[in-house]
């Protein structure tokens, strides 16, 4: 019952945001708003009419609020939304992605980086020292070169001193887009180079209680914060393009009823 109340409050707040926006910009149609915010028009229509009966996907809430409030900075976005929306975003995306004062979320960039090559090139270019065309071509060949030129033309990346840099170094993607790139990201793991001391891999599984899962998540959340702090420290910047993945999930989908 409590979950339904929270959902209804969330829908009510989004319903109000949408209709306020459409009243202010009367020339914008619901179809146009759906396209610009990258949300299915059927979903947007149900929310705008207050007829959404099921839970709303977290990335839909993020896309919608970011676009409607014209706010890319995630910290500022949390300050602008109603507490119900703020709690929902923090619950599903975690406070970790909102920790940086500079981190931005751009609906258009989020859509653009659904393409795998674009995503990895932009991710490399977002490192403090960027990347080079040669590095990109070593990874992705001719396709990488084509994508780099495309991104240069769109001014999503810039070239400085022979290196490629992302327009927004501290960017965030919604979970749906980020997770879609996980399989390819994991392929970069090279077990044969374990002896060099640069990589790490643990895989553990067991049937757990909800309380134990919550405890594990808390540990992982704290670990992610500590890793981020090390990565953000200017004294630790170097030339090795390094990544870390923090992931935990159930093998079988659990419903809210099973988890209560």
Residue 100, pLDDT above cutoff 70: no
**CA distance to 5, 9, 53, 102, 153, per residue, from 16 (Å):** 16, 11, 16, 28, 38
**CA distance to 15, 34, 131, 163, per residue, from 135 (Å):** 46, 37, 7, 10
What pLDDT digit, counting tens, does each position of 28-50 carry?
999 999 988 888 899 899 888 87
Better-predicted residue by pLDDT, 38 or 51: 38
Identify the architecture of domain 2-94 in CATH.
Orthogonal Bundle (1.10)
Tell me the pTM. Answer: 0.78
Q: Which residue has the tokens 């119900």?
A: 84
Domain residue ranges in the chain:
2-94, 106-174, 189-260
Q: Is the domain covering 106-174 a CATH 1.10.10 domain?
A: yes
**CA distance to 124, 135, 202, per residue, from 145 (Å):** 14, 10, 34
Residue 95, pLDDT above cutoff 70: no
Residue 115, pLDDT above cutoff 90: yes
Phi, then psi, of 228 in degrees rounded to 5: -60, -40
Residues in the chain: 260
Q: Tell me if 2-94 shares its fold with 106-174.
A: no
Q: How many CB atoms lie within 10 A of CB 172?
A: 20
pLDDT of residue 259: 44
pLDDT of residue 163: 97
Residue 99, pLDDT above cutoff 70: no
Is the Cβ–Cβ distance between 126 and 166 less than 8 Å?
yes
What pLDDT digit, counting tens, does each position of 189-229 carry?
999 998 899 999 999 999 999 999 999 988 988 888 889 88
Sign of the alpha-carbon dihedral angle for 126, 127, 133, 138: negative
**DSSP secondary-structure letter at 97?**
G
The residues facing 166 across adjacent strands are: 157
Residue 104, pLDDT above cutoff 90: no
pLDDT of residue 260: 41
Sign of the alpha-carbon dihedral angle for 227, 231, 235, 241: positive
* Pairwise CA distance, residues 167 & 259, whole Å: 42
pLDDT of residue 108: 87
Give the pLDDT band (50/70/90) at residue 258: very low
Give the pLDDT band (50/70/90) at residue 127: very high
pLDDT of residue 238: 94
């Amino acid at each position: 019952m409590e979950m339904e109340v929270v959902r209804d409050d969330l829908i009510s707040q989004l319903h109000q945001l949408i209709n306020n926006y459409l009243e202010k910009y009367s020339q914008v149609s619901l179809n146009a708003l759906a396209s610009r915010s990258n949300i299915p028009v059927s979903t947007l229509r149900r929310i705008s009419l207050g007829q959404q009966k099921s839970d709303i996907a977290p990335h839909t809430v993020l896309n919608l609020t970011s676009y409607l409030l014209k706010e890319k900075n995630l910290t500022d976005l949390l300050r602008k939304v109603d507490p119900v929306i703020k709690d929902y975003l923090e619950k599903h995306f975690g406070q970790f992605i909102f920790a940086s004062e500079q981190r931005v979320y751009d609906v258009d960039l989020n859509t653009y980086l659904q393409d795998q090559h674009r995503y990895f090139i932009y991710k490399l270019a977002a490192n403090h020292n960027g990347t080079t065309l040669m590095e990109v071509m070593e990874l992705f060949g001719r396709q990488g070169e084509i994508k780099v030129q495309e991104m240069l033309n769109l001014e999503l990346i810039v070239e400085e001193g022979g290196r490629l840099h992302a327009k927004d170094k501290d960017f965030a993607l919604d979970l749906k887009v980020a997770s879609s790139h996980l399989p390819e990201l994991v392929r970069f793991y090279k077990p044969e180079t374990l002896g060099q001391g640069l990589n790490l891999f643990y895989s553990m599984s067991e049937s757990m209680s909800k309380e134990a899962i919550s405890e594990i998540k808390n540990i992982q959340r704290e670990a992610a914060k500590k890793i981020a702090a090390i990565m953000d420290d200017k004294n630790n910047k170097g030339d090795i393009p390094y990544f870390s993945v923090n992931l935990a999930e159930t093998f079988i989908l659990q419903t809210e009823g099973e988890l209560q």
